[in-house]
Amino acid sequence: MLNDIPLEHFVIISAVLFCAGLFAVLTKKNAIMVLIGIEMMLNAAILNLVTFGAFDKHKNEGQVFALFAIVLAAAGVAVSLAIILNVYRQFKTIDPSKIEEMKY
């Protein structure tokens, strides 16, 4: 396999990251921590793409889509942080469970 490291170990790291991100999304009380959780889940997906992409060096689909996912995640963070700042201005809190309307 990859430098004699079994494929499962990469995938298990990815699973741990995904579950840590899921935990943050489910339980955290401020929106930036939720955002970090989402990023962690995206990184788990990217790790899987890269891992399986290592078995195709001609088409390189895994690595190409990992790059697309990184760019999409970057774009998502930029917009989400702007939205979080606006939410704070509007509601004076960024606790996701206390924000219940989208009125502007």
**34-53 binders of other proteins (CB under 8 A):** 35-37, 39-40, 43, 46-47, 50-51, 53
Q: Is 7 within 8 Å of 1 (Cβ atoms)?
A: yes
Binding residues among 2-21 for other proteins as defined by CB under 8 A: 2-13, 15-21
Least distance in angstroms from the C-beta of 44 to other proteins: 9
Q: Using CB under 8 A, which of 45, 66, 98, 100 touches other proteins? A: 66
Q: At closest approach, how far in Å is the CB of 99 from other proteins? A: 13
Out of 57, 100, 102, 103, which residue is the one contacting other proteins (CB under 8 A)?
57
Cα-Cα-Cα-Cα torsion 35, 36, 38, 39, nearest 10 degrees, comes to 120
Find out whether 91 and 99 touch, Cβ atoms under 8 Å: yes
Do residues 34 and 102 lie in contact, with contact meaning Cβ atoms separated by under 8 Å? no
d(CA 18, CA 36): 12
Among 79, 98, 100, 101, binds other proteins (CB under 8 A): 79
